[in-house]
Amino acid sequence: MNTKRMKELGEKRSVIRELFEYGTKRKAEIGAENVFDFSLGNPSVPAPKEFTEELCKILEKENPAFLHGYTSAPGDLSARTAIAADLNERFGTAFGPEHLYLTCGAAASLTISLSALVNEGEEVVIFAPFFPEYTVFIETAGGKPVAVPCEWPDFQINFEKLEAALSEKTAAVIINSPNNPSGAVFSEESIAKLGKVLLRAEEKFGRKIYLISDEPYRELIYDEEKYPFVTKYYKDAVICYSWSKSLSLPGERIGYILVSPENEEWKNLYSGICGAGRALGFVCAPALFQHIIPKCVKMTSDISVYKQNRDLLYNALTKMGFEAVYPKGAFYLFVKSPEPDANAFCEKAKKYELLIVPSDDFGIPGFARVSYCVSSEQIERSLPSFKKLAEEYSL
């Protein structure tokens, strides 16, 4: 029953949302400065000034009927051309605008791709920890999520478990690197091996197994970590991107799907993506933000703030005795719960006004996600509270 599922999805609040509501209430009670809210993944660094300037410039210059008018369903040609050129320059690839389909953000990129790829009853492999909405999106497409836990402590792929999860029913595998919630970045070695394993599985099961790379955090990598662009390691790849995090535009819903031209069936897949966008009610990506893309394809927000926060938080918490995944990207610190029940740990944290998210909804128990897309000053001020929490566990 479709309507029952929708009602339940609408009623069931996520743990993150519950915590956010609690934080709002608590801030009203004791003052916002006394609550250390690390619950959300909403970028704290604003979009760059040059971005706003370019927006104002095209608003002044261009005819509004063009600027706000329909674009073609796959997106404005200039925008797609600019994105392809930028990717080719950075990653040595050979994409054209015909391989790109602009979307209303990463969630849309995923629901559209999954609807184009998955048939009723097929399976989609995801790596735990994972973004909780993956299971919702997979189920919308009629698929069944199959979770494969990552390795501890580096959160790379456990290939033994992956191979056991692949079957003749596997339509796709989703990766999310840099990862929400762990901050881990899959190494080039992991991606290369993943490509080989999937190719072998395709041969073994005689079917396409698509690799969907959900990479809204792609530009948020620290320590000059090289980003292994997945189409170079596996031909049946689909990239889902969004400017939500790199340009701090999460509310504007602008992103894309990229299909690899090395997949010999890419034209059929692209048609399926166009069809799925249409069927789900996506007419085109927001036009104004499409038209600004050629001007800002090389811009990012000031990511150095997140790196500074990462260092500050990771060093302080591990010094206090907490165990945590070393985050090479994104803006989350994944802290091991000092007791088996992460929910109990996060409840204790609340006593010290620390709002952190238990990991169960991300598909693994025993961790807490600390979002450090906040001011460095909030992190500094929160450290005595984390210290008290550590002491409670005698770390």
- Closest to a second copy by CB, 111 vs 382, is 111
Per CB under 8 A, 206 contacts a second copy: no
Per CB under 8 A, 273 contacts a second copy: yes
Least distance (Å) between residue 9 CB and a second copy = 3
- Closest to a second copy by CB, 105 vs 183, is 105
Per CB under 8 A, 377 contacts a second copy: no
Per CB under 8 A, 69 contacts a second copy: yes
Least distance (Å) between residue 184 CB and a second copy = 24
Per CB under 8 A, 306 contacts a second copy: no
Tokens of residue 79, six digits: 């925008």
- Closest to a second copy by CB, 268 vs 315, is 268
In terms of Cα–Cα distance, which of 96, 108, 106, 102 is closest to 72? 102
Least distance (Å) between residue 79 CB and a second copy = 12
Per CB under 8 A, 395 contacts a second copy: no
Least distance (Å) between residue 26 CB and a second copy = 18
- Selected range binding a second copy among 36-44, 77-85, 173-181, 196-204, rule: CB under 8 A: 36-44
Per CB under 8 A, 141 contacts a second copy: yes
* Cβ atoms 372, 38 nearer than 8 A: yes
Give the single-character DSSP code of 147. Answer: E
Per CB under 8 A, 271 contacts a second copy: yes
Return the number of other C-beta atoms located less than 10 Å from residue 268's C-beta.
12
The amino acid at residue 41 is G
* Cβ atoms 148, 158 nearer than 8 A: yes
Q: Which of 39, 177, 190, 290 binds a second copy (CB under 8 A)?
A: 290
Using CB under 8 A, which residues numbered 70 to 89 contact a second copy? Answer: 70-71
Per CB under 8 A, 7 contacts a second copy: yes
Using CB under 8 A, which residues numbered 222 to 261 contact a second copy? Answer: 248-253
Q: Which of 95, 137, 233, 345 binds a second copy (CB under 8 A)?
A: 137
Least distance (Å) between residue 53 CB and a second copy = 9
CA dist., res. 293 & res. 241, Å (int): 13
Return the number of other C-beta atoms located less than 10 Å from residue 67's C-beta.
15
* Cβ atoms 69, 330 nearer than 8 A: no
CA dist., res. 310 & res. 298, Å (int): 23
Helix (H) or strand (E) holding 56: helix 49-61
Per CB under 8 A, 6 contacts a second copy: yes
Using CB under 8 A, which residues numbered 86 to 125 contact a second copy? Answer: 104-105, 107-112, 115-120
Contacts with a second copy, 47-66, as mask; x by CB under 8 A:
x---xx--xx--xx--xxx-
Return the number of other C-beta atoms located less than 10 Å from residue 290's C-beta.
20
For the sheet with 170-175, list strands across it: 100-103, 255-259, 237-242, 210-214, 170-175, 123-128, 144-149
CA dist., res. 119 & res. 144, Å (int): 10
CA dist., res. 239 & res. 231, Å (int): 8
